[in-house]
Structure 1
Amino acid sequence: MRTTEPTYASPWRRLAAIVYDGCLLFGVLFVASLIPALLMNTANLGQSPATDSVVHELNTPLHGAFYQAYLVALTVGFFGFFWRKNGQTLGMQAWRLKLETVDGGRISWPRCAARVVAAFVSLGLCGLGFFWIWIDKDRLSWHDRLCGTRLRVLPKAEKS
C-alpha cells in the first residue's frame, strides 16, 4: 500500500472556508448582541418617545471594553469549540479542511485563543498574514507559523 504526503490547504480553499465561517460567526455575534440589547431596553417598552425623531444609540454597556471582550470571548469560543472537537469548523468541513498541530495532534485552548487573535492581526494588516501563504513553502500563514498549526486537506470520502 502506498502512503501519500498530506495535502496542505490552498489559499482559495482557505478563503472559501473563511467566508463560510464568517457568515456563521456574524449570525452568532448578531444573536449574542441582540439578547443583551433587548434585555437592557425592556424598561423602555411601552413608553412613547417625547419626540418623533429616531435615535440610533446603543446603551453604554453595549459598546464599551466589557462588550468588546465579550465578543472576542465568543469568537474564541466559537472557533475553539469546533477546533477542539474535531479540528474543523462548519466552513472547514464543507471544504474538507482540518486544523491540526504540526505533529498532527489536536489544538489546545491556549493555541485556539492565540490563533484567533493572530488571525485578526494578520487580517488587520491588510491581509498580509494570509497572503503569506502564496510565498511560504509549506503554505502556512503567519498565524499558523506563530501557533504551530497547519490546515490539511482531507481526502474525499469514498462512495460505497
Structure 2
Amino acid sequence: MTIDQRLAELGITLPQAAAPVAAYVPTVEVGGLLHVSGQISFAEDGSLMKGRLGDDVDLDAGMAAARRCGIMLLAQIKAALGSLDRVERIVKLGVFVNSTTDFTDHPKVANGASELMVEVFGEAGKHARAAVGVAALPLGVAVEVDAVVAIKA
C-alpha cells in the first residue's frame, strides 16, 4: 500500500504546502535528511488555530492543532520529495506549544502530531521528540511543529 492510499484510508486530504511567511525555505535536504521548517496550526478550512494552552485552548483542541501541524508537515514533505513513499523514517519532531507558565501537558499536546506519524508510516513513523512550552508563536497560533525526516536512497 502506498502512503497516498494510506492517507485516503485514514480520510486525510493534504492541503497545499504553505508558503513561508518570513526569510526561510520550507525544507532543506542534506545528507539523506529532509529538515522541515516549523509548520503552524491551520484548521481544515485554512483558518489559523489560535490561542494559548492553559488559557483559552483546552487539551483536546491543542492535540487537534498539533495533528493539523503534522498534516501540513506531510504536505511539505510531499512537495519536497514528490512522494511520501520516499520517507524512510520520521527521525524527530520538535513541538512548540503556546502555553501559560503553569501548563504542563506539552507531551500530550505533542501526541497529536506524533500519533499521526505512526498512523501514516507505521513503525517508520516512530520518532524522537521535543515538546516545549513557549510564551508566543507566530500569528498567535496554538502549536508549531518542525521535523527531521530520513529519505530513502
Q: Would you call these one fold, judging by a TM-score over 0.5?
A: no
Select the structure that is richer in helix.
Answer: 1
User: Greater RCO between the two (CA within 8 Å, min separation 6)?
Assistant: 2
User: Greater strand percent: which structure?
Assistant: 2
TM-score by length of 1: 0.29
Query: TM-score, normalised on structure 2?
Result: 0.30
Compare CA radii of gyration and give the structure with the larger one.
1
